[in-house]
Amino acid sequence: MRPYVKAQKNDERDAEAIAEAATRPTMRLVELKTEAQLDMQSIHRARERLMAERTGLINQMRGLLLERGIVLPQGRRTLAKRLDELLAQAEVPLSPRMRRLIEDQREQWRGLDERITAFDEELAAYARSDDTARRLTSIPGIGVLNATALAAAIGDVSTFAQARDVAAWLGLVPRQFTTGGKPRLLGISKRGNCYLRKQLIHGARAALPALAQSQTALGAWLRGLLGRAHKNVVVVALANKLARIVWAVLVHKRPYEPRTVV
């Protein structure tokens, strides 16, 4: 609204600037979310908080044990198995107080796992019952988490005029620096919802090996891109492509159907 504020800033001029900006034909407005969409976004935020809390707890446990000469393997599931085996031993190179602390943290870890699993089951049930989310899960790299998060965040897809608008809204397109008629494209803009962008990139990274070997148009495009770009760049490019496919699936209201290359 700043370009429409006249002279010094005060409440009256702010209100006038908002009213003036709202009348502009090219002004982009935010669509109101339904109660179901807001609920789904809240579930994702709560789950993300628990995930961060669990990661912090695991890192702290690993650091405490490392200070006492106990090196545990990488990977959450492998770590949990090794830690349970360690605590089950009668003789552990830990003081009694430290052992009680690690056992308490391990129990807290189990509680976080149960709460995260409950959220995952709720999201999976919603994805099975919601037509939009079910169509989105037909896209490679779009699982339950991505489908429910995208369905709740996008809402009315008619807000986006074209597929590139969704990718730009998620910050997956290159930043532009054009001056004097000389276009220059930089790294991705990273604008918009960082949670959705992160989830799409994770989904693209998981789907890349299978997609690159598939005899589809998307697979042929990925193989060509892998031959001339770093894998991480290809992952982000695939996430960009998935965002555009999401727009097409929502607009046409039918599942994703890959085109086979003969």
Give the domain ranges of the chain. Answer: 32-129, 134-262
**Structure-model confidence comparison of residues 185 and 111, the more confident one:** 111
**d(C-alpha 219, C-alpha 262), whole Å:** 12
Residue 1 has pLDDT above 80, yes or no: no
pLDDT single digits (tens) 133-179: 999 999 999 999 999 999 999 988 988 989 999 999 999 998 888 88
Q: Which of 18-32, 52-66, 209-223 has the lowest mean pLDDT?
A: 18-32
pLDDT of 86 reads 86
Q: Over the chain, what is the mean pLDDT?
A: 90
d(CA 171, CA 26): 20
C-beta of residue 135 within 8 angstroms of C-beta of residue 165: no
Give yes or no for a contact between 122 and 133, defined as CB atoms under 8 angstroms apart.
Answer: no
pLDDT at residue number 5: 86
Q: What is the pLDDT of residue 183?
A: 85
CA distance 3 to 33: 27
Residue pair 181/204 in contact (Cβ under 8 Å)? The answer is no
pLDDT band at residue 262 using 50, 70 and 90 as cut-offs: low
Greater confidence (260 vs 175) lies with 175
Residue 261, pLDDT > 70, answer no
pLDDT digits (tens, 9 = 90+) for 188-225: 888 888 999 999 999 999 999 999 999 999 999 999 99
